Amino acid sequence: MTSSQSAAARSVAATSLADHKPHGMERLADTRLYRPFAFIGGRWRSAASGALVEVTNPANGEAIGHVPDMGREEAREAVEAAKAAFGPWRALLPQERARLLRAWHEQILAHAEDLAVLMTLEQGKPLNESCGEIAYGASFVEWFAEEARRIEGEMPMSHLPGRLMTVRREPVGVVACITPWNFPSAMITRKAAAALAAGCTVVVRPASETPFSALALAELAERAGLPAGVFNVVTGVPEPIVSELVEHPLVRAVSFTGSTEIGKRLLRQGAERMKRMSMELGGHAPFIVFPDVDLDEAVAAALDAKFQTTGQDCLAANRIYVHADIVDAFVARFARRVAALKIGDGFEDGVEIGPLMHERAVAKCAAHVADARAKGGRILTGGTSDGLFFAPTVIAGADETMDIFREETFGPVAAVFSFRDEAEVIASANDSRYGLAAYLFTRDHDRICRITEALHTGMVAVNCVKMTGHPIPFGGVRESGLGREGGRHAIHEFTDLKYVCAAYRAA
Ligand code: NAP
């Protein structure tokens, strides 16, 4: 079943939102952050058809609420609203745009706990991880509020007599942001804050599994005073809305985070209109451990790099390579730590592993485990599931014939490979269509320089796991994507260069 089919299956018949009582929203201190509507041109809207998409809590399968199932027509209206808002937004002085973005940032921080609750309800991740994501997502709004004032051009030395040459950056126009469910808030702010700072207006189409985080951000943008039409959110089954956004001539840039498969499809669609396309796609990170490191530190790092967001993370360590001299000791300690991870509802104290998002995610984990077992892998812990909860799993003795060597698992299954030398591990790590991130653990400075240069990825973490944040250019090479998010480079995704050559008379 494809994503769009699964969402379509949850679309319910034309009905009134008033007939649907939300579950779990009583946890919110500010209940107006639960917004079961789309947000277009500064108005909270239902679908013309009355159709709804049900949103469920993956921890217990209960419906937590519904959002309108908008279609092509409403997506078009959102683009037109964003286009109408573009002229005045672009005309604001940068410090005025910065002030509004700062106000949005303050609103997000002031309601961080509620935003985290909404996220755990619809995404299932442990509440402390949701809190972390809200802070992480907010940091992009703050960073780009600051960057709004530092969008600079160039004045090349003229190669022609009597000419003043300037190159400036201009906002591209309306930007469509299409985001996944694994980071329901930060993937929106990382895109939208950069686009807004550049002077663009935005239409967000959040994943149908996690629309409430996006809608709460819209509510807070409105409270912060962002003008109508500057930030729009269109909810519903993906295909018609996303197709309209990618094909509409007024949308000048598309920023997508999701699977490589859908990313390629959108690139083909966008090519017809020569759109600016930025793509943050799948990852298959190698995690390489040499014997000169502290074993317990490496084990703790592998735990972090693999199991955050229950393994549903594009940065997840999908191929753990451990030097043959220490691999037995490593897997024994690693499996012990993994077996002790606490699984459960993200609202329970101490929970470290939440539910997966879909049954197809559970099926993929189970298939990777079964395939590895059949090919000689040893399952040291886990390998079983209960509903959407998949027990964190360690596969020892993984090799390159296994599906898990080629495919992103996107779940809590850790495969440990062993290697003998540097050349072998570099060749294996690079033997992938993906190239988002890599992790390297060694104390040998020369080796760090050689391997970071040799790895074909957009990002490398050396002797650490946490590497992302607002100032860095996040993104991959190969089939992990195009373009960068975060840092100064992100502004480039949403601006065009304009060169002006002005003749002047000599005195
Ligand atoms: P996905 O299925 O590609 O979905 C991503 C977005 O595309 C969602 O909004 C989805 O809507 C929408 N979509 C689904 N089918 C579509 C269609 N036929 N036409 C148009 N839009 C469609 O990916 P996912 O499973 O949600 O996310 C997991 C993937 O994202 C993984 O590969 C992961 O590595 C990648 N990811 C990458 C980054 C990064 O920064 N590089 C960050 C996070 C995730 P629905 O959800 O409503 O189906």
- DSSP track, 416-445: EEEESSHHHHHHHHH-SS--SEEEEE---H
* DSSP SS3 for 238: helix
- 307: CB partners within 8 A, 6+ apart: 338, 341, 352, 353, 392, 412, 414
If one residue of 208, 257, 315, 362 were mutated to test the ligand 1 pocket, choosing by the most ligand atoms within 8 A of its CB, it would be 257
Residue 96 has pLDDT above 80, yes or no: yes
Task: Give the mean model confidence (pLDDT) for residues 239-243.
Answer: 98
Task: Give the mean model confidence (pLDDT) for residues 58-82.
Answer: 97
**pLDDT score at 272:** 93
For residue 123 and ligand 1, the question of a CB distance below 6 A is answered with no
SS3 of the chain: helix, strand, coil, percent, to 5: 45, 20, 35
Task: Give the mean model confidence (pLDDT) for residues 238-246.
Answer: 98
For residue 182 and ligand 1, the question of a CB distance below 6 A is answered with yes
User: Exposure string (b/e) for 275-284, b if CB count within 10 Å is 16 or more?
Assistant: bbbbbbbbbb
- DSSP track, 145-190: HHHGGG---B-PPPSSTTEEEEEEEEE-SEEEEE--SSSTTHHHHH
Residue 204 has pLDDT above 70, yes or no: yes
- 96: CB partners within 8 A, 6+ apart: none
Confidence category of residue 10, pLDDT binned at 50, 70, 90: low
**pLDDT score at 507:** 87
Structure tokens at 409: 């698992």
Confidence category of residue 5, pLDDT binned at 50, 70, 90: very low
Measured in Å, residue 260 CA sits from the centre of ligand 1 at 8
* DSSP SS3 for 309: helix
Q: Whose CA is nearest to atom 9 of ligand 1?
A: 207
324-353 pLDDT per residue, tens = 999 999 999 999 999 999 999 999 999 999
350-387 pLDDT per residue, tens = 999 999 999 999 999 999 999 999 999 999 999 999 99
For residue 303 and ligand 1, the question of a CB distance below 6 A is answered with no
For residue 408 and ligand 1, the question of a CB distance below 6 A is answered with yes
DSSP E strands: which ranges in 32-99? 38-40, 43-45, 52-56, 63-68
Task: Give the mean model confidence (pLDDT) for residues 221-250.
Answer: 98
**pLDDT score at 14:** 47
Task: Give the mean model confidence (pLDDT) for residues 262-284.
Answer: 97
If one residue of 183, 262, 277 were mutated to test the ligand 1 pocket, choosing by the most ligand atoms within 8 A of its CB, it would be 262
Minimum-distance ligand 1 atom for the alpha carbon of 474: 40
Residue 438 has pLDDT above 90, yes or no: yes
Q: H or E stretch including 388?
A: none
Bigger pLDDT: 2 vs 257: 257
Measured in Å, residue 257 CA sits from the centre of ligand 1 at 6
**pLDDT score at 117:** 98
- DSSP track, 19-37: G---SSGGG-SSGGG---S
Confidence category of residue 11, pLDDT binned at 50, 70, 90: low
Confidence category of residue 7, pLDDT binned at 50, 70, 90: very low
Q: H or E stretch including 207?
A: none
- 327: CB partners within 8 A, 6+ apart: 396, 416, 418
**pLDDT score at 23:** 84
Q: Which residue bears the tokens 């949103």?
A: 55
**pLDDT score at 3:** 40
**pLDDT score at 110:** 98
Give phi and psi for 197, each to the nearest 5.
Answer: -60, -35
Dist. CA 60–CA 124, nearest whole Å? 9
Measured in Å, residue 208 CA sits from the centre of ligand 1 at 10
**CB neighbourhood size of 226 (10 A):** 24
Task: Give the mean model confidence (pLDDT) for residues 215-222.
Answer: 98
**pLDDT score at 477:** 98
Residue 1 has pLDDT above 50, yes or no: no
**pLDDT score at 91:** 98
Burial class (CB in 10 A: 0-12, 13-18, 19+), 505: exposed
Which residues form the catalytic set? Answer: 280, 314
Q: Bridge-partner residues for 317, per DSSP?
A: 285
**pLDDT score at 20:** 63
Task: Give the mean model confidence (pLDDT) for residues 391-416.
Answer: 98
Dist. CA 237–CA 9, nearest whole Å? 9
- 177: CB partners within 8 A, 6+ apart: 188, 191, 192, 195, 202, 203, 204, 205, 255
Confidence category of residue 454, pLDDT binned at 50, 70, 90: very high
151-174 pLDDT per residue, tens = 999 999 999 999 999 999 999 999
Minimum-distance ligand 1 atom for the alpha carbon of 242: 20
Q: Which residue bears the tokens 């080629």?
A: 406
> 209: closest CA among 282, 130, 122?
122
Q: Which domains does the chain have, with CATH numbers?
A: 3-282+485-493 (3.40.605.10), 285-433+437-469 (3.40.309.10)
Mean pLDDT rounded to a whole number for the chain? 96
Q: Could you tell me what percent of the chain has a pLDDT over 70?
A: 96
User: For residue 157, what are the CA distances in angstroms to 69, 152, 162, 505?
Assistant: 54, 16, 11, 17
**pLDDT score at 42:** 98
Q: H or E stretch including 465?
A: none
Bigger pLDDT: 14 vs 446: 446
- Kindly report whether the global pTM for this prediction surpasses the value 0.85: yes
Burial class (CB in 10 A: 0-12, 13-18, 19+), 291: middle
